[in-house]
Amino acid sequence: MSDRVTVTEAEAARRTIRRTDFVSCNQAFIDCRTPGSDRKENYAMIGPGVTQNADQVVNLREPHGYNIGAAAMPSGITNNLHLHFTAEVFYCFRGEFLLRWGADGKDGELVLREGDIASMPTWIFRGFTNIGPDDGWLFTTLGHDDTGGIIWGPSVLREAEGHGLFLTSENQLIDTVAGDEPPEDAELVRPMTDEQIARLRTYTAEQMRRRVATADDLEYSPAPFLDSTLPGGGAQLALVIGYGMTEDMHQEPRVFNPHGHNVAWLRAEPGQGMLPHRHAETQVLLVKDGEWEVTLNLHDEVTVRLGPWDMLSVPRGAWRALRNAGDDTATVLVINGGDGRVRLEWDDEVVKAAADAGVATDHNGYVAPYALVPRTIGR
């Protein structure tokens, strides 16, 4: 990788999206007037996702290989049945949600609680309702930059039509009550036929449960990285989707299939984290709890401090180090681009310190005893 990737203060600020920067849109989708869904708030932090409203605020439009957004819903409010062509992942950061799937929402149900992550299969209808007593919050990722849009359940389209809302094949929302008229030659989206729906795959509750990672399902590696035994290192990693950036050869993710991105929880005790490293994929750090300090660049360092629900997009190839800057255990969600493993490159000082501690990375990118890893010229 080039050594010329330097993140300026201005660029770091542009890539930092704080909780106070989130901007909601309550008319992002065709069900915005459907009773029981009309108080749903939608957010687009990184990439436009599948919003159907051209006025949706997007905090950072730069392509990452995935989109990050959120749905905020008061108690009792429903997100109606729809399907996606690319992977959709829910991250429950507050509240309790009843997740249901199938063309009529009756194939199965599961409850998501705070800290749970659910990966929804492509090409199945899904919807969810906030069944908790308070406002709920789901962050979401959608795989790839071009998601292809969204297909709504037949009943959703029919009810929306009764409220004067239509959708074009170009994913444009037409509000006839507000005076919109479909563009000339625009093709309106029609409900899927029974025959088309019958061809969709079905999932049992048991099959779907294997795509959910609760706190009890997480398996944290105590030594996932080359710096795990070094001062300032020591972060633990729990894989959720894909192998991501683990260097623990024994660690396996809960969900394996390609998403266009990988997801893991990273936690650390006060003062611990990850020493300087870099990799060639996009990365977003989304804080669940605690205070994190992210230092960018090896020289001309730029430091960003993140609190709960803040996120930082780290450019490909940029050096970065993470540290729990708070007084308690802190947790951050790490999202990297790509379907394969994310191979880390450590700062030379980290490599030397690890060698002195008796560890190295082998030729497959996993931590191994230093004495057993052959040294080659240029390595």
pLDDT in tens, 307-365: 999 999 999 999 999 999 999 999 999 999 999 999 999 999 999 999 999 999 999 99
Q: Cα 351 to the chain's mean position, in Å?
A: 30
97 closest CA partner among 114, 80, 84? 114
Q: CATH number of 31-213: 2.130.10.30, 1.10.1380.10, 2.60.120.10, 1.20.1560.10? A: 2.60.120.10
**Residue 37 pLDDT:** 59
CB 136 within 8 A of CB 94: yes
* Separation in Å, CA 179 to CA 1, 168, 173, 175: 53, 16, 12, 7
pLDDT in tens, 3-40: 679 999 999 999 999 999 999 876 545 555 555 556 77
Residue 295 identity: T
> Residue 182: what pLDDT?
65
Domain boundaries, the chain: 31-213, 219-372
State residue 35's pLDDT score: 56
- Asked if the model's pLDDT at residue 379 lies above 50, the reply is no
pLDDT-derived band at 189 (thresholds 50, 70, 90) equals confident
**pLDDT at residue 280, as a whole number:** 97
- Distance, CA of 286 to chain centre: 8
pLDDT of residue 378: 43
DSSP 3-63: TT----HHHHHHHEE-GGG---BS-SSTTTTSTTTTT-EEEEEES-TT---TT--EEE-S-
| Whether pTM exceeds 0.75 | yes
Q: Do domains 31-213 and 219-372 have the same CATH topology?
A: yes
Q: 351 φ, ψ to 5°?
A: -60, -45
Segment 48-67 shows an average pLDDT of 85
User: pLDDT, tens digit, for every residue of 197-211?
Assistant: 999 999 999 999 999
Q: Which CATH superfamily is domain 219-372 in?
A: Jelly Rolls (2.60.120.10)
Residue whose structure tokens are 């998601």: 147
In angstroms, the Cα distances linking 301 to 304, 318, 320, 378 are 10, 11, 9, 27
Residue 14 Ramachandran class (φ > 0 left, ψ -120 to 50 alpha, else beta): alpha
pLDDT band at 223 (very low <50, low <70, confident <90, very high): very high
Q: Which pLDDT value is given to residue 26?
A: 67
At residue 191, does pLDDT exceed 90? no
